[in-house]
Amino acid sequence: MSFTNTRYNRQEVMPQLGLEGQNKISAGRVVSVGAGGVKSSLLYHLASAGVGTIHIVDFDRVELSNLNRQILYRQHDIGRYKAEAAAEELRELNPDIAVSYSLDRIDASNVDEFLGGYDVILEGGDGPEQRLLVNKFAVDTRTPMVHVSAQYAHGYVFTMVPPDTACLNCVYPDLPESRKGPVPVWGLATGMAGVMGANEVVKLLLGKGELATNQLLSFSNFQNDTYTIPVARRTACPTCQR
């Protein structure tokens, strides 16, 4: 294969991909619950890698204090719906992919409508109830799901492939309430965690490589430490053990 000036040439010439691998990425369908900090860098990389279909479900609007880490948004996006601004930005980055969005909040009545039919779900939600609903949908429909988060200067990545691996409820048996008010977060931790999450998504689409299943990957920006925390599938998990 030669280095021609096409969008994906530099990755298509990788032995792990080839044209066949790129076709798998281009056929990939990913839905994102939310479009905040980690999803900003994650979605950028999915779009640039050529993931063919991206859908974003989010009803938040861009605020000034988002801009230290939510790199999908610009100063002039303040006040706009994130999903709308994100879709616009991703389409500009890569007009060869399909990006759509819903300005909605996921609940039990619409979870199937919004999350059904995708190859990978990007986990998210406003609080434990919604996150566990998304997790349960992924488990019930056997849809791979990638969880990515960042707080302070730490990032976390976890992948699940139901029904074979631990689910989010196994990792966090007591998922805490979302903290009210501003959560300290280092934008670079957000960005790195998002890139690691995108890496998981692309490996899932390719069906190649090691995944962060049955483990929580974590890192600290200020210490340069990386951790792999094993996560056992809980025999008493109310979501994945029935």
Per DSSP, which regions of 87-224 are E strands? 98-102, 120-122, 145-151, 154-160, 215-220
If binding is defined by CB under 5 A, does position 171 make contact with Zn ion? no
Residues in the chain: 242
Contact range with Zn ion by CB under 5 A, out of 43-51, 81-89, 187-195, 234-242: 234-242
Which CB sits closer to Zn ion, 57 or 167? Answer: 167
Contacts (CB under 5 A) with Zn ion, residues 133-152: none
Total residues contacting Zn ion by CB under 5 A comes to 6
If binding is defined by CB under 5 A, does position 170 make contact with Zn ion? yes
Which CB sits closer to Zn ion, 169 or 221? Answer: 169
Which CB sits closer to Zn ion, 95 or 238? Answer: 238
If binding is defined by CB under 5 A, does position 169 make contact with Zn ion? yes
If binding is defined by CB under 5 A, does position 192 make contact with Zn ion? no
Distant-in-sequence, close-in-space partners of 209: CB < 8 Å, separation ≥ 6: 16, 203
Which CB sits closer to Zn ion, 50 or 125? Answer: 125
Which CB sits closer to Zn ion, 145 or 198? Answer: 145
User: How far apart, in Å, are the Cα atoms of 86 and each of 8, 123, 191, 213?
Assistant: 22, 17, 15, 28
DSSP count for the chain of H helices, then E strands? 8, 8
Per the CB < 8 A criterion, the answer to whether 171 and 149 are in contact is no
- CA-to-CA distance for 78 and 218, rounded, in angstroms? 31
In this chain, which of 86, 148, 193, 240 binds Zn ion, going by CB under 5 A?
Answer: 240
If binding is defined by CB under 5 A, does position 216 make contact with Zn ion? no
Helices (H), 149-186: 168-171
Which CB sits closer to Zn ion, 84 or 140? Answer: 140
Contact range with Zn ion by CB under 5 A, out of 42-50, 149-157, 159-167, 198-206: 159-167
204's tokens: 């899932």
In this chain, which of 51, 99, 148, 167 binds Zn ion, going by CB under 5 A?
Answer: 167
116's tokens: 């059904």
- CA-to-CA distance for 204 and 159, rounded, in angstroms? 9
Per the CB < 8 A criterion, the answer to whether 232 and 171 are in contact is no
- Beta carbon of residue 180, minimum distance to Zn ion (angstroms, whole number): 27
If binding is defined by CB under 5 A, does position 85 make contact with Zn ion? no
Residues that bind Zn ion (CB under 5 A): 167, 169-170, 237, 239-240
